[in-house]
Amino acid sequence: MRLNYYPSCLKPELTLGTGPHYDPTSLTVLHQDCVSGLQVFVDNEWYSINPNFNAFVVNIGDTFMALLNGRYKSCLHRAVVNNTTPRKSLAFFLCPDKDKVVCPPTKLVDYNNPRLYLDFTWPVLLEFTQKHHRAETNTLQAFSMLLQENNAEAYE
């Protein structure tokens, strides 16, 4: 769980509350107060999500995307600040047990939908995100390439 507090800022256009990122986890359940700030990146544009104190925003993260073999996509999002009102949000991250292998069900893999990502466990992806945090890059793609390189080396 993460509690975010974004103080107001005299020059909000010069800063970001939380930079653009994909959540690496499976699902994120987000609760916001009544101040807007959350934005998602769709079709090359940032869209503000209206805050609703009585609702949760559920975000698909990279682990869920891998588990569903890319059928649902994780979403690039960020939080911006404003010059009048501080904002608070609460993010509850769901992630797999540490020894569970993230592998899509066979039903989601066939000739037209080949495996997009090699098997991995959550702690390995977590370590990758902690060591190589690169805002706005596609973390899952970069992680997947590393898995493929490691896999190839193991067979050399």
| Residues assigned a catalytic role | 87
CB of 79 to Fe ion, least distance (A): 8
Residue 79 touching ligand AKG (CB under 6 A) = yes
Residue 92 in tokens: 């509850």
Q: Rounded distance, CA 123 to CA 133, Å? A: 15
Residue 4 touching ligand AKG (CB under 6 A) = yes
Q: Rounded distance, CA 8 to CA 65, Å? A: 34
The residue (of 69 and 140) whose beta carbon lies closer to ligand AKG is 140
Give the list of residues 6+ apart from residue 33 with CB closer than 8 angstroms, or none. 51, 53, 87, 88, 89
**Phi, psi angles (nearest 5°) of residue 41:** -100, 110
Look at phi and psi of residue 44 and say left if phi exceeds 0, alpha if psi is from -120 to 50, else beta: left
CB of 124 to ligand AKG, least distance (A): 20
3-state secondary structure of 104: coil
Residue 32 touching ligand AKG (CB under 6 A) = yes
* Size of interface with Fe ion, in residues (CB under 5 A): 1
The residue (of 5 and 111) whose beta carbon lies closer to ligand AKG is 5
Quickly list H helices, 5-155.
Answer: 62-67, 122-131, 139-154
- Which one of 17, 23, 128, 144 is in contact with Fe ion (CB under 5 A)? 23
The residue (of 19 and 123) whose beta carbon lies closer to ligand AKG is 19
The residue (of 23 and 62) whose beta carbon lies closer to Fe ion is 23
- Binding residues (CB under 5 A) for Fe ion: these are 23
- Binding residues (CB under 6 A) for ligand AKG: these are 2, 4, 18, 23, 30, 32, 37-38, 77, 79, 89, 91
